[in-house]
Chain A
């Protein structure tokens, strides 16, 4: 057992995976000698070799496309896309090829691949380094989408992703790479894909969130009066997602606030709200409230905290939903 950050847990999980399975190959920009721009792969090339932790040309489509080829031929590829904003050039390979290979060959050709991508805002980064595109991929059939926000969950879900026989996008909320530490077991364990985590139990209202926003929600909930009891759910898996846990919770509390960094319209919150309406209709005491990023381009960092759904806005959403 060691106290680890999110990024530290990812590094050690990758280290263990590389040691355990010779068919694993990691590829990406600056992930080798430099250890990744966030140091998520620090030391892995020196330990496991240049041919297993591979510094590639600066070409996201190339990284994704060759990672697909490697996986088709029986390797387990773990490509890294340096920032979520650079997924654009790789989108075609990911959505039109990786996601479709199993179905278009009726299982004859498959793509076991884990795509690691730092995601989200809040770190004062340049433009196109702060977006939250998870719902784009949740809306793209054929890929699984994960976004753990704690070190323990990151290890368990990364292990599940690597073991998964299909393509998985593993989003890493970069804002909380180093802000929260917890004990992470040394031994191998998995957290099942598609299971949410009830972070805290409550009776009056359910908050559903994921990624770095989970910590903003915790802060908002902490500032509520003591007699208000909120159930906090960390979705963790964006697709498939755990509607059972959400529906059970909202049926109990009757009120639901969904918080995410991605833009409001067609964000994952829209899907969850629709499902809550379908599955908890007679239990709802208030309309489902969404506290999300705005339907704007993510502003440069001088204004990023105005855009992000941080604790005060989440608190406002909770308070208004309770008052309805």
Chain B
């Protein structure tokens, strides 16, 4: 056969809970029970409350730049529930806070991080999360490497999930991470939160591909596109991917189609580049709205419960902010002390004198007494 098809591919799309809160019962079988749905809804609501208060803090000058998660929470909570806390690893970008909280990251640490304090990434032992990653796409290779170590050490029943956006899939390291994971057949789940916008660049200008999910086909990786605002679809796709991963089936790819309802960060003004009509259409597809409609339709939620949750969320995030702002100021010695496990003598001198000038370090050279390092 001189000319024939050697490879064909297709991309499947999964939606279980639609925009109106209607559940496809057949597809929903063996996915989330109602207790889990309520739990995930609570996680999304609390994360939303944290977004709101973080936004206000930034606007009032009490916090630096902060990227809101608003609109994308279903991706984080649905996938995080499918992963095993303290056992699996999460290698995050910076728009999946709820997943990190569900896996044991103390909530105030994310605020501490965005308040410019490295201790916000000093996670307690047993929290298997790498720090939030501001550079785009570079962390996915670490997810591949961590999963590789699991395979190498024959760790049973463990996998890694890494999150990134549609923009990240243009980066070389995205492809590097996908190829390595595929060649080494390691248990990594690549979760793309396709929110349509990489700051101001729409997806159509980011790529000429019809879907993000199809990029995984080049790496012979099982791949699916899901409604990223549907906790059922997100959960199911991640469960399937994790099952494959721990059974030796290698990496998987999930594209969650979602939308960033807020600006890219508090330093951004999305009205400069986005059509308000587009945003309005996505407000209607807000994962919190549809999950609540579903819960009400099955009788596990009502206005009273909502009111209680709203109050609880407010209390929690206020406590979180208080915890973040009441952390003692960092010691300036710390930015030296953590350069290496044992820091070189030269660095100790810089730390102890807070000087780089040789005369300043030894003023006896010009007949002066040494000044102690400026008190903290």
Task: Give the complex CA separation of A220 and B150 in angstroms.
Answer: 53
Task: Give the complex CA separation of A62 and B141 in angstroms.
Answer: 7
**Within the complex, what minimum Cβ distance (angstroms) separates B188 from chain A?**
9
Residues of B26-80 contacting chain A, CB below 8 A: none
Query: Are B177 and A62 interface neighbours, CB within 8 A?
Result: yes
Q: Which residues of B are found within 8 Å of A65, using beta-carbon distances?
A: 138, 140-142, 144-145, 173, 176-177, 180
**Within the complex, what minimum Cβ distance (angstroms) separates A238 from chain B?**
12
User: Does B152 interact with chain A (Cβ within 8 Å)?
Assistant: yes
**Within the complex, what minimum Cβ distance (angstroms) separates B94 from chain A?**
13
Q: Mark A15-28, 1 if CB is under 8 A from B, else 0.
A: 00000000001000
Q: Which residues of B are found within 8 Å of A141, using beta-carbon distances?
A: 339
Query: Are A144 and B340 interface neighbours, CB within 8 A?
Result: yes
Residues of B in contact, count (CB < 8 Å): 44
Q: Mark B116-134, 1 if CB is under 8 A from A, else 0.
A: 0011011100000011000
Q: Mark B336-371, 1 if CB is under 8 A from A, else 0.
A: 001111001111000000000010000000000000
User: Does A102 interact with chain B (Cβ within 8 Å)?
Assistant: yes
Q: Mark B319-336, 1 if CB is under 8 A from A, else 0.
A: 000000000000000110
Instruction: Place the interface of chain A in its size category.
Output: 35 or more
Query: Are A68 and B346 interface neighbours, CB within 8 A?
Result: no
**A52's closest neighbor in chain B, by CB?**
B152
Query: Are B141 and A61 interface neighbours, CB within 8 A?
Result: yes
User: Does B372 interact with chain A (Cβ within 8 Å)?
Assistant: no
**A237's closest neighbor in chain B, by CB?**
B344
**Within the complex, what minimum Cβ distance (angstroms) separates A44 from chain B?**
16
Q: Which residues of B are found within 8 Å of A240, using beta-carbon distances?
A: 344-347
Stretch at the interface among A89-97, A125-133, A249-257, A305-313: A89-97
Query: Are A106 and B180 interface neighbours, CB within 8 A?
Result: no
User: Does B147 interact with chain A (Cβ within 8 Å)?
Assistant: yes
Given contacts A56-B180, A66-B141, A243-B346, contact A72 B146 (CB under 8 A): yes
**Within the complex, what minimum Cβ distance (angstroms) separates B218 from chain A?**
13
Q: Which residues of B are found within 8 Å of A165, using beta-carbon distances?
A: 340-341
Residue among B89, B131, B179, B180 with most chain A CB within 10 A = B180
Query: Are A108 and B122 interface neighbours, CB within 8 A?
Result: yes
Task: Give the complex CA separation of A56 and B335 in angstroms.
Answer: 35
User: Does A169 interact with chain B (Cβ within 8 Å)?
Assistant: no
Pairs across A and B, CB under 8 Å, 10 listed: A65-B144, A69-B91, A70-B146, A74-B149, A103-B118, A104-B131, A105-B122, A106-B122, A194-B344, A194-B345
Across the A-B interface, the 4 shortest Cβ-Cβ residue pairs: A69-B145, A65-B141, A73-B149, A240-B344
